[in-house]
Amino acid sequence: MRKGFKIFWYAMLMALNELRVNKLRTFLSLLGISIGIFCIIAVLTLTNSLELNIRSEMASLGSNVIYVQRFPWKNTGNDWWKYMQRPMSNYSEYQKVKQRVQNASAFSYVYEMNGKTVSRGDDYMDNVTMMAVTDGFDQIQQVDLAGGRFFTPMESSSTSMIIILGANIWQGLFGSAAEAVGSEVDFGGKPFKVVGVMRSYGQNMIGSFDYDNSVLLPYSAAREIVNDRTRWVDPFIMVKAAPHVAVPQLKDELRGAMRAIRRLKPAQEDNFSLNELSMMASDTEALFSKINWGGAFIGFFALVVGAFGIANIMFVTVKERTGIIGLKKAIGAKPKFILQEFLIEAVVLCLIGGVVGMLLVFGITRLLAAVVFFKIYMPVWIVILGLGISVLAGIAAGLIPAYSASRLDPVVAIRS
């Protein structure tokens, strides 16, 4: 144990000495390793961060929620016109679905309208999205309020002129949540009382609900502004599975209910789409897998170039220390100790290059975190992977030079 530690310590000192004595040569050789590790770790860090952010936003949509819509969440190809001709969901269908579907815990009917304006006196916010929702919406979606409350079932069914403001809206018109709740705003030419304000969600990456620039209205009140029968909106029904009910089970029941409501014959295909998060998850995994493989491919070639550079350093080092190797073997050093010494030295050099590459990734990601709209994560497993790749590259680069050093004849080595 002690002898092994001494060999490791001596090899590390020799590697650091190589850096000190031959700065330019070692720097150029380590540059390839650093670039290779940088490419692999940078791609993994960014794709892992994007994936975590996207999965987080997808989770906010509800992993056990089914969306009854005209269009499916997949590439429609040349079938776009067929989906366009499908009938839109409506409030009557929503009520019938609530009565017929037993394996659900919450229902909501939703439609949106962009380009609206919210005003308070002379102040106004434009390009606001109106979201008309029924009372079950907050049981399906994560509507986090910074103040106030959500609609009651009675307010949703009656024409109560109340409104919930997104973060950008109430911050622009009022400045504080306390001032906003209980105040009145003008929306669509009608006065509305603010009963709640939402916290800031930030930009989303998957095109889900943009709460920051939206207002929530009860369905009945929203119809006073924009009718859900107009062709400018595309209503949909959200259905959340009951506890301990599998999504496929709910989906089958919902399909049967919708076919019965729309009176489709057995031979007719569905004229609606039942969308769920698993449809998006498979496409997301495939996309990130391709990106990771692309980054690994680029990083592999950079590592090969770097490994050749380290191998070149080790061959030169063996040549320079031939006499010392001969003396060591003459006084009893075994070939395996010589092999270990040069192999550890190659690994240490590669680890230094790998650490430099990871430090570059860490520094750049910290800078990016200040300008991009999603969180960047560099988990421990990526750091461990980078160090592991560096060790493997060091072993691959130093194995042949170390083996050649261990096989030197002591007499010939001393003479040289």
- The pLDDT tens digits of the residues spanning 375-389 come to 777 888 888 888 888
Is-contact 172 125, C-beta < 8 A?
yes
Domain range for 253: 87-271
Distance (Å, whole) CA 156 – CA 142? 18
> Kind and range of the H or E element at 30?
helix 23-61
- Which two three-digit tokens encode residue 357? 């590459």
Same domain, yes or no, for 295 and 411?
A: yes
| pLDDT of the residue at 382 | 84
Q: What is the rounded CA–CA span in Å between residue 103 and residue 106?
A: 10
- Statement to judge: residues 18 and 116 lie in one domain: no
Q: Which has the minimum average pLDDT: 46-55, 165-174, 233-242, 379-388? A: 46-55
If asked whether residues 266 and 237 sit together in one domain, one would say yes
Residue 255 — pLDDT band, cuts 50, 70, 90? very high
pLDDT value for 58: 64
Range name among 3-12, 80-89, 186-195 with the lowest pLDDT average: 3-12
Question: Looking at the predicted structure, is the pLDDT value of residue 1 above 60?
Answer: no
Q: Mark whether 201 and 257 lie in a shared domain.
A: yes
| Residue 78 forms part of a structural domain | no
User: Tokens for 363?
Assistant: 């520094």
Q: Are residues 225 and 246 in the same domain?
A: yes
* Whether residue 310 sits in one domain with residue 339: yes
- Is residue 75, in this structure, part of any structural domain at all? no
Q: Is residue 62 part of a domain?
A: no
Are 264 and 288 in a shared domain?
no
**Averaged pLDDT for residues 111-138:** 88
pLDDT surpassing 70 at residue 279: no
The helix (run of H) or strand (run of E) holding residue 43 is: helix 23-61
* Confidence at 237, pLDDT banded by 50, 70, 90: very high
- pLDDT (tens digit, 9 = 90+) per residue, 332-351? 777 777 787 778 878 888 88
Q: What pLDDT shows up at residue 394? A: 85
Q: Specify whether the CB–CB gap between 213 and 204 falls below 8 A.
A: no
- The packing angle between helices 91-100 and 247-261, to 10°, is 120
**What was the pLDDT predicted at 10?**
66
Q: What pLDDT, on the 0 to 100 scale, is given for residue 189? A: 85
Mean pLDDT of 364-372: 77
CA 111 from chain center: how many Å? 27
DSSP-based three-state secondary structure for 334: coil
State whether 176 and 254 are in the same domain.
Answer: yes
Q: Tell me which residue of 155, 165, 159, 202 sits closest to 187, measured CA to CA.
A: 165
Q: For residue 79, tell me if it sits in a domain.
A: no
Residue, of 18 and 325, whose pLDDT is higher: 325
What does the pLDDT read at residue 254? 93
Residue 70 within any structural domain of the chain = no
Give me the chain's average pLDDT, please: 82
Could you say which of 213, 237, 271 is where a domain stops? 271
| Residues linked to residue 273 through DSSP beta bridges, in sequence order | 69
* 115 and 249 assigned to the same domain: yes
| Domain membership flag for residue 204 | yes
Residue 184: the pLDDT is: 92
Query: Is the Cα torsion angle 383, 384, 386, 387 positive or negative in sign?
Result: positive
pLDDT at residue 17 tops 80 = no
Work out the average pLDDT over 251-267.
92
Q: What is the pLDDT of residues 191-223, one digit of tens each?
A: 999 999 998 877 665 556 778 889 999 988 888
| Per-residue pLDDT, 76 | 63
Give 309's pLDDT tier (boundaries 50, 70, 90): confident
Same domain, yes or no, for 32 and 165?
no
76 part of a folded domain: no
Question: Quick one: 106 and 196 in the same domain?
Answer: yes
Q: Does residue 298 surpass a pLDDT of 70?
A: yes
8 A C-beta contact, residue 284 and residue 54 = yes
169 within some domain: yes
* pLDDT, average across residues 380-406: 85
Question: Does position 364 have pLDDT exceeding 80, yes or no?
Answer: yes
Q: Among 221, 236, 271, where does a domain finish?
A: 271
Judge if 42 and 98 occupy the same domain. Answer: no
Domain boundary (229, 253, 271) is at 271
Q: Which amino acid is at 142?
A: Q
Helices (H), 262-374: 277-320, 322-330, 335-369
Q: What is the DSSP letter of 372?
A: S
Within 8 A by CB and 6+ apart from 35, the residues are 302, 305, 306, 357
Quote the number of domains for the chain. 2
The whole-number pLDDT of residue 314 equals: 80
More confident residue, 37 or 284: 37
